[in-house]
């Protein structure tokens, strides 16, 4: 499938996450849920998946067990429903911990736009939120519904169905992507173009690769050079780059000659000169950058907002970024001030006001949760 990762650009490391303004008051790190889990996921819709002795369940923000820690696998919440697996059976719960239904199918996905993918004998179909089979199991491949349509496959070719299960775009493509803002990148006869939801070709099949549109532009490649087209297919930034990232907050990363990353605007003008070994998309005015294996953040003028001294750093999430001093993990705020000391063996991004952190002790490495106030 087409690589739609617009976060990382031209770097050997993949490290991810968003930010908000810091504050001047003295911050306090509060251990909300003590370290006790073998693994712990981010909170989503008020609950988080945790693991003890190879079994999974869900806790609330006070550490109360809402869904018993007894399942072999657990997903994250999606559309108010979570999926767990035990004894060859998939069960679904709501975010209050109420049991909804069990699925007879071994393979089952999370819900998207009211449907979940299910599998039987290597064929795929869809159930609705009552567990009823809504679209028959008859596809060789099936993806989640996005913008009202889902990718399906038959005999090595791909098309799209609507929510009644009707094939609205025939099985004729070798590679496809989800619809994004009404258009989807598809591959036919070795080249990529774009179609709309009726299947009409909007951008001709002439590119060696094509990314989803972001801020009205798509990064495309031809003859090993990258540039950008608009939704009519017009080339608005020439295909002259060795590599590009997708546009975010009006800027996109690029590499033109020296294998260094800089940033251009939508006119193709260089706003930040190429000097970094890696650059990520701008988010809330800042971009994570890397130079000489050290990470920091720059603003949209190119000024260094957070010094490049971390090994590594993740992007901001809810105002804080995970960062490492090379030995332990902590959190920094948007000004680069240390918000949580570098003392954790591992950590996860802030989500819904809390972050999972891992510490070592007599019982080995255990996960708990902190907040910063």
Q: What is the DSSP string of 264-305?
A: E-TTS-EEEEEEESEEE--BTTEEEEEETTEEEEEETTS-EE
pLDDT of residue 362: 72
Q: What is the pLDDT of residues 250-286, one digit of tens each?
A: 999 999 887 899 999 999 999 999 999 999 999 999 9
List the end-to-end C-alpha distance of the chain, in Å, as a whole number: 42
Nearest in space to 94 (alpha carbons), one of 145, 136, 143, 130: 130
CA 57-62-68 angle, 5° bins: 20
Chain mean position to CA 314? 13
Using 50 as the pLDDT threshold, list the residues of the chain that sit under it: 1-25
pLDDT of residue 189: 97
pLDDT of residue 89: 87
pLDDT of residue 108: 81
User: How far, in Å, CA of 2 to CA of 119, rounded?
Assistant: 23
Structure tokens at 94: 């709501």
Domains and CATH numbers, the chain: 8-372 (2.140.10)
Residues with Cβ < 8 Å from 21, sequence gap 6 or more? 319, 334
pLDDT of residue 26: 59
pLDDT of residue 233: 97
pLDDT of residue 15: 28
Nearest in space to 366 (alpha carbons), one of 65, 71, 52: 52
Q: How many CB atoms lie within 10 A of CB 208?
A: 15
CA distances from 111 to 81, 92, 144, 168, 197 (A): 7, 10, 8, 21, 22
Q: How many CB atoms lie within 10 A of CB 287?
A: 27
Q: What's the DSSP call for residue 351?
A: B
Task: Give the CA-trace dihedral at 266, 219, 15, 325, to 10 degrees.
Answer: -40
Question: Which residues partner with 44 through β-bridges?
Answer: 47
User: How far, in Å, CA of 338 to CA of 320, rounded?
Assistant: 9
pTM across the whole model: 0.86
């Amino acid at each position: 499938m087409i690589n739609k990762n617009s976060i990382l650009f031209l770097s050997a490391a993949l490290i991810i996450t968003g930010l908000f303004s810091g504050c001047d008051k003295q911050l306090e790190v509060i251990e909300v849920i003590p370290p006790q889990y073998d693994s712990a996921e981010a909170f989503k819709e008020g609950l988080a998946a945790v693991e003890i002795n190879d079994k999974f369940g869900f806790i609330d923000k006070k550490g109360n067990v809402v869904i018993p820690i007894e399942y072999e696998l657990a997903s994250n919440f999606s559309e108010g429903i979570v999926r767990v697996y035990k004894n060859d059976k998939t069960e679904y719960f709501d975010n209050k911990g109420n049991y909804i239904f069990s699925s007879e199918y071994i393979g089952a996905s999370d819900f998207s736009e009211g449907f979940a993918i299910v599998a039987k004998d290597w064929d795929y179909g869809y159930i609705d939120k009552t567990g009823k089979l809504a679209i028959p199991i008859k596809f060789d491949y099936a993806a989640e519904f996005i913008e009202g349509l889902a990718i399906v496959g038959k005999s090595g070719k791909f098309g799209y169905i609507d929510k009644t299960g009707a094939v609205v775009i025939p099985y004729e493509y070798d590679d496809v992507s989800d619809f994004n803002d009404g258009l989807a990148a598809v591959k036919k006869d070795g080249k990529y173009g774009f179609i709309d939801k009726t299947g009409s070709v909007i951008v001709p099949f002439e590119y060696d690769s094509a990314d989803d549109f972001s801020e009205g532009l798509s990064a495309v490649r031809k003859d090993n050079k990258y540039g950008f087209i608009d939704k009519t297919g017009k080339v608005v930034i020439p295909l002259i780059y060795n590599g590009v990232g997708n546009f975010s907050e009006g800027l996109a990363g690029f590499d033109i000659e020296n294998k260094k990353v800089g940033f251009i605007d939508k006119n193709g003008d260089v706003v930040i000169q190429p000097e970094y070994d890696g650059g990520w998309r701008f988010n809330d005015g800042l971009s994570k950058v890397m130079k000489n294996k050290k990470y920091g953040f720059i603003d949209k003028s190119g000024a260094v907002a957070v010094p490049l001294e971390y090994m590594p750093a993740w992007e901001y999430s809810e105002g804080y970024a995970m960062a490492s001093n090379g030995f332990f993990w902590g959190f920094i705020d948007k000004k680069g001030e240390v918000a949580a000391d570098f003392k954790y063996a591992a950590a996860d991004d802030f989500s819904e006001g809390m972050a999972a952190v891992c510490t070592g002790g007599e019982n080995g490495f255990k996960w708990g949760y902190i907040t910063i106030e």
